[in-house]
Structure 1
Amino acid sequence: MNYDAIVIGAGHNGLAAAIELASKGWSVAVVEANAEPGGAVKTREVTQPGFRHDLCAMNLSMFAGSAFLNKNKDDLFAHGLGFVAAADCFASVFRDQTWLGVSTDLEKTAGRIAAFSEKDAAAWRAMLAEFGADAPYIFGLLGSPMPSFAAAKVAWKAWRGRGTRWLYDTLKLLLSSPRDFLDARFEDPKVKTMMAAWGLHLDFAPDVAGGALFPYLESMANQAFGMVIGQGGADTIIKAMTSLLKSRGGELILGNAVERIETTGGKATGVRLADGRVLTARKAVIANAHPQLVFGKLLPPDPARAEFDARIAKFRAGPGTMMIHLALDGLPDWKAGEELKRFAYVHVAPDLEMMSRVYAEAVGGLLPVEPALVVGQPTALDPGRAPDGKHVLWVQVRVLPATIRGDAKGEISGTDWDEVKESYADRVIGILEGYAPGIGTKILGRSVFSPVDLERENPNLVGGDNLSGSHHLDQNFLFRPVAGYSRYKTPVPSLYMCGASTWPGAGTGAGSGFMLAKMLARK
């Protein structure tokens, strides 16, 4: 069959690209190896019937604030999109059984911070005021191809509106480590810890350069706008997007892997599927896939492309991740306070020192003694995800080695994830017990996805890296995935890349797919 464009991979970026192109009159087919679309955005009953768990992504705030949603909002909601807003967004628990959290009510947040430091409460308010003025420029840069005239235009407007000093301060923010950024603005270690935990959602330990931006953006955006999760599950965005795509004439082919990208005269002209069919693309083949899969498996080696292929082969994964899904008889009884039951996220990462330690252990191949935990409580906001009176718990374990060399605690002897994942999950539950006593007695069902399991579920998550590539400075901005190819083109004419391995990186913002499609549609 013949199409204008073929998209490999039905993750949200691939779907966004297909929807945008279909809206411009292109004939589009999206091909997905799995029987289920969504990539890292899926919701399933993995513990017991009636308990719906977000397999990977839970927080949909980036999608809710995306340019893609802004353009297609009415149509997506008409096709079933549903959000649930969290007024109590995220919190951190500390070793002395105190806590600190961010709610959309500024007075609540500032009051909690003031209990630790009046000076920091004033600094928080000042930072929020600055964020209100800075956000249009920062999000404008994140929503522009890199490099591009659009990005330069945003920088020009920022210079005109905010001055040269603002440009220097923003560049300093982009280059700073979380610790340096936070030390310059706050005095209380618990305030710093609460914000720095967001760095480990990517692969930024407290002292890694370039890691300040995410803690800053997430903290301020949650304060200003709140957090959003999917009504009934994160897959609400995938269901709405696939329905919208079909309504615009796009085709979705599931359960049929792309075995090879077809080329003619060096140009990408289509794909060969596992069932033997060849689909022809007149204008573009878009790979919403990890570049190492594209250039290591789907395309034959080409001496003319040898240098590029070698650079892609060195594209580094971030540390691994484990997901633990629990069906519960009730929400955790947080020792630090009953109010924590209302929060979407509770971070169990009690100080910067343990964040540095867990990162060092993981990148050294060791099972960390005390991993950082992101505890999602979706049924605190959306009770329909579980039977009446019951709950689901979403536990993301960060950060872990893809390949195990040993155990930093000296308790687990195996080095195969299939052998040790349940034992390591027991360690995680033990850590939770220290902050939420009795949680073990509430567990009705448990499902553990090791880094290896996550890669089996989605080959783009190499080594269980849910970021599809480290976001350190040498692999971000102009260098994502490699220098010279940050604008979604590849050395193969008519073959393009999008997804988390490309600018602007990981998350649910649909940015790369949407920006690429707009660029193609203008050709």
Structure 2
Amino acid sequence: MSRSVIVVGGGHNGLVAAVRLARAGCRVTVLEQGVEPGGCVWTETHRSGVVVERGAWEHAGVLAVARELELDVDYVEHPVAAGFHFADGTQRVFHTDLEHTVRELGADGPAYRRLVELADTLFGLLGTFATPPTPTQVAAALATVPSGDALFRTMVQSAETVIEATLTDPFARAALALQASHAQVPAWAPGTGLFAFLLPLAHGGPSVRPVGGSRALVDGLVAALEAAGGEVRTSAPVVRLSTHRRRGAAFGGGLDESGGGGGGEVELADGTVLAADVVVSTLGLPRTGSLLTDPAPALRAATNDLHSGHFNVSELTVTVVSSAPVPLPWHDTDAIWYAVAEPGDVRRGFGEILAGQLPTSPWSMVGRGRQPAGVTGAATWLSSVVPLDAADGPWTAERERLAGERLVDHVSSVLGVDLRAGLVDLVVSGPATWAGRVGGDGSPNHLDNTLDQLLGWRVPGHADLRTELPWLYLAGAGSHPGGGLSGASGSAVATTVLSGAATPPPRVERLRAEVRGLVRGFQAYRSMRKGIR
């Protein structure tokens, strides 16, 4: 019989894994604690009929997976990878076309091109590993390469140091630093040098938005899963993971045939017990460990070595629902733009967040959502950062709304427009909202994206997504390559599961999967909107 698989968590990585496994002949059930799948890919229809994005926005990182899986999702391409608008009217635009970008950067153009070439060199090296390498392995490999020592120093430096050693224009520097901080770690922190390449990695491929909003991706994945014979169960929170040691546990309405001692067992909050040959957890590792009843010393040791929230960063998204579109000071309204009062705000703001304070001058991503035919209203999407733990007390729905109103007013000032014109509603999601929707404490990555928790150390000792329990596998934002809308870890775990418990997949196939996943993952950090899974 085909293997049975339970995927815990219905975010996009869990759904990508489920589709791949179901199409390979596995009997797959996805268990999602919420009333709908999607996790941080979250789209709602407002009572006014306006489509509101509450989570992920840009889909460049997941486009390759959507096309490979032939999902029923239509994408609209736009030529701007990221734009930056400052309060004095200065703009810096980074196009998907590198040559266009280099020309517009003027005197910094050649230096920026060298940064792109450096990114290609480093990621080309990373791509030679069959599984995500640890930084120690990267250092050993670079030791044999001309100028390899300097390249490794780039990784252990701060992103800010790398950027300032390359560019002279303060506005371009701020743009790269802001993009680098999408890893949820300040660009001034040591060991963030890799993230200086997030913007340089944006060239050469399309930037896209899905027609119908981000939920089109979730709908497409669910439809593909069901067409392959799998299913998604919502309102199904998991309370226990353990080795299956008895016959007869219900699975998918039938009976498990693996026999005593085979596979894994999952208990739901309503008391239902399901068994399967394989369980894939897309939850964060600490949460997975808390549900696990088996000893699993290696997994628990890895959990104890992890840390999250040391920089106190979380996110705040606000959608301004209005009766008509508010004019924005740029033409490509499908693209992500950033509103920043002045270049120094990025550095100062992360210091304030570390102290538990809202940034005095918050920057924000800004997007204009396309609306269905016949809808006259409009939605302007903002996303900024806030402290995960505020110094003056815990987050509540009311505090989130007040922070959202403050952000709207500040961005209006930076852009020189009134985002409240024709205001119908503000839809706000902050740390408390996200903790309730996808679990965890409201931190989007489960783990800090510091050098000790990157690449093959995300999760330490589990770079191939296996665990010491032969039935349990890991995926999601807490595993390599981390948060972001890419489907990389979902694809990788499916490859690992299908390779069998004893024999790793052919090296060339793993290499291709890891290269694609690594590059997509790091590209996707710029579109990362709540990778808590």
TM-score bracket for the superposition, by shorter chain length: 0.7 to 0.9
Indicate the SS of the match to 1:325: strand
Q: How many Å apart are 1:192 and its aligned residue?
A: 0.9
Taking the aligned partners of 1:416 and 1:121, their CA distance within structure 2 comes to: 43
Would the aligned equivalents of 1:6 and 1:270 in 2 still touch at CA under 8 Å?
no
The answer to whether the aligner puts 1:502 opposite 2:493 as a matched pair is: no
2:528 alignment partner in structure 1: none
TM-score by length of 1: 0.82
Q: How many Å apart are 1:343 and its aligned residue?
A: 5.5
- Please give the residue correspondences for 1:189-338 in structure 2 after superposition, counting only pairs within 5 Å: 189-217=170-198, 219-264=199-244, 269-282=264-277, 284-296=278-290, 298-300=291-293, 302=295, 308=301, 311=304, 314-316=307-309, 319-334=313-328, 338=329
Q: How many Å apart are 1:175 and its aligned residue?
A: 2.5
1:431 alignment partner in structure 2: 410
Change in Cα spacing, 1:306 to 1:281, as seen in structure 2 (3 Å) is closer
Indicate the SS of the match to 1:366: coil
Taking the aligned partners of 2:374 and 2:83, their CA distance within structure 1 comes to: 23
Taking the aligned partners of 2:445 and 2:87, their CA distance within structure 1 comes to: 29
Indicate the SS of the match to 1:191: helix
Q: Which residue identity does 1:295 align to in structure 2?
A: G
Would the aligned equivalents of 2:321 and 2:424 in 1 still touch at CA under 8 Å?
yes
Would the aligned equivalents of 1:196 and 1:352 in 2 still touch at CA under 8 Å?
no
Taking the aligned partners of 2:94 and 2:237, their CA distance within structure 1 comes to: 43
- Please give the residue correspondences for 1:331-346 in structure 2 after superposition, counting only pairs within 5 Å: 331-334=325-328, 338-340=329-331, 342=333, 344-346=335-337
Taking the aligned partners of 1:100 and 1:491, their CA distance within structure 2 comes to: 49
Taking the aligned partners of 2:98 and 2:133, their CA distance within structure 1 comes to: 36
Would the aligned equivalents of 1:50 and 1:386 in 2 still touch at CA under 8 Å?
no
1:411 alignment partner in structure 2: none
2:124 alignment partner in structure 1: 137
Choose from 333, 336, 340 the match for 1:349.
340
Change in Cα spacing, 1:354 to 1:249, as seen in structure 2 (3 Å) is same
Q: Deviations over 1:222-257 (max 9, x none)?
A: 332231121111122211111111222222222222
Would the aligned equivalents of 1:189 and 1:351 in 2 still touch at CA under 8 Å?
no
Identity score, percent = 22
Change in Cα spacing, 1:270 to 1:499, as seen in structure 2 (3 Å) is same
The answer to whether the aligner puts 1:179 opposite 2:156 as a matched pair is: no
1:59 alignment partner in structure 2: 58
Q: Which residue identity does 1:83 align to in structure 2?
A: Y
Q: How many Å apart are 1:299 and its aligned residue?
A: 2.1
Q: How many Å apart are 1:319 and its aligned residue?
A: 1.4
Of stretches 507-516 and 255-264 in structure 1, the one that deviates more from structure 2 is: 255-264
The answer to whether the aligner puts 1:362 opposite 2:356 as a matched pair is: no
Taking the aligned partners of 1:310 and 1:18, their CA distance within structure 2 comes to: 25
Of stretches 303-312 and 499-508 in structure 1, the one that deviates more from structure 2 is: 303-312
Taking the aligned partners of 1:250 and 1:386, their CA distance within structure 2 comes to: 35
The answer to whether the aligner puts 1:4 opposite 2:11 as a matched pair is: no
Of stretches 269-278 and 444-453 in structure 1, the one that deviates more from structure 2 is: 269-278
Would the aligned equivalents of 1:193 and 1:350 in 2 still touch at CA under 8 Å?
no
Q: How many Å apart are 1:71 and its aligned residue?
A: 3.8
2:93 alignment partner in structure 1: 101
Q: Which residue identity does 1:467 align to in structure 2?
A: N
2:367 alignment partner in structure 1: 376
Q: Which residue identity does 1:344 align to in structure 2?
A: A
Would the aligned equivalents of 2:244 and 2:265 in 1 still touch at CA under 8 Å?
no
Change in Cα spacing, 1:418 to 1:252, as seen in structure 2 (3 Å) is closer
Taking the aligned partners of 1:239 and 1:343, their CA distance within structure 2 comes to: 21
Q: Deviations over 1:117-156 (max 9, x none)?
A: xx2023234444666x5487268369x63249xx999x98
Q: Which residue identity does 1:260 align to in structure 2?
A: R
TM-score by length of 2: 0.81
Change in Cα spacing, 1:457 to 1:303, as seen in structure 2 (3 Å) is closer
Q: Which residue identity does 2:44 align to in structure 1?
A: R
Q: How many Å apart are 1:469 and its aligned residue?
A: 2.1
Change in Cα spacing, 1:496 to 1:121, as seen in structure 2 (3 Å) is same
Would the aligned equivalents of 2:388 and 2:442 in 1 still touch at CA under 8 Å?
yes
Taking the aligned partners of 2:379 and 2:331, their CA distance within structure 1 comes to: 15
Indicate the SS of the match to 2:441: helix
Would the aligned equivalents of 2:242 and 2:294 in 1 still touch at CA under 8 Å?
no
Indicate the SS of the match to 2:456: helix
Q: Deviations over 1:444-467 (max 9, x none)?
A: 2211112111111111xx332222
Q: Deviations over 1:324-354 (max 9, x none)?
A: 11113444445xxx33553611212345532
Runs of 5+ unmatched residues, structure 2: 246-260, 501-533
Structure number with the higher helix fraction is: 1
Q: Which residue identity does 2:452 align to in structure 1?
A: D
Q: Which residue identity does 1:146 align to in structure 2?
A: P
Choose from 460, 467, 479 the match for 2:445.
467
Q: Deviations over 1:142-175 (max 9, x none)?
A: 9x63249xx999x98x99xxx9236445434433
Indicate the SS of the match to 1:62: helix
- Please give the residue correspondences for 1:366-405 in structure 2 after superposition, counting only pairs within 5 Å: 366-379=357-370, 383-384=371-372, 387-388=375-376, 390-398=377-385, 400-405=386-391
Would the aligned equivalents of 1:52 and 1:385 in 2 still touch at CA under 8 Å?
no
Q: Which residue identity does 2:286 align to in structure 1?
A: Q
Taking the aligned partners of 1:429 and 1:269, their CA distance within structure 2 comes to: 48
- Please give the residue correspondences for 1:434-449 in structure 2 after superposition, counting only pairs within 5 Å: 434-436=413-415, 437-449=417-429
Would the aligned equivalents of 1:120 and 1:186 in 2 still touch at CA under 8 Å?
yes
Taking the aligned partners of 1:164 and 1:304, their CA distance within structure 2 comes to: 37
Would the aligned equivalents of 2:242 and 2:293 in 1 still touch at CA under 8 Å?
no
Change in Cα spacing, 1:104 to 1:475, as seen in structure 2 (3 Å) is closer
Would the aligned equivalents of 2:244 and 2:275 in 1 still touch at CA under 8 Å?
no
Of stretches 192-201 and 223-232 in structure 1, the one that deviates more from structure 2 is: 223-232
Q: Which residue identity does 2:180 align to in structure 1?
A: G
1:409 alignment partner in structure 2: none
Q: How many Å apart are 1:38 and its aligned residue?
A: 0.9
Taking the aligned partners of 1:404 and 1:287, their CA distance within structure 2 comes to: 30
Taking the aligned partners of 1:16 and 1:501, their CA distance within structure 2 comes to: 16
2:401 alignment partner in structure 1: 422
Of stretches 122-131 and 315-324 in structure 1, the one that deviates more from structure 2 is: 122-131
Q: Deviations over 1:181-237 (max 9, x none)?
A: 1112111111111121112222232211233333423x2343322311211111222
Would the aligned equivalents of 1:328 and 1:443 in 2 still touch at CA under 8 Å?
yes
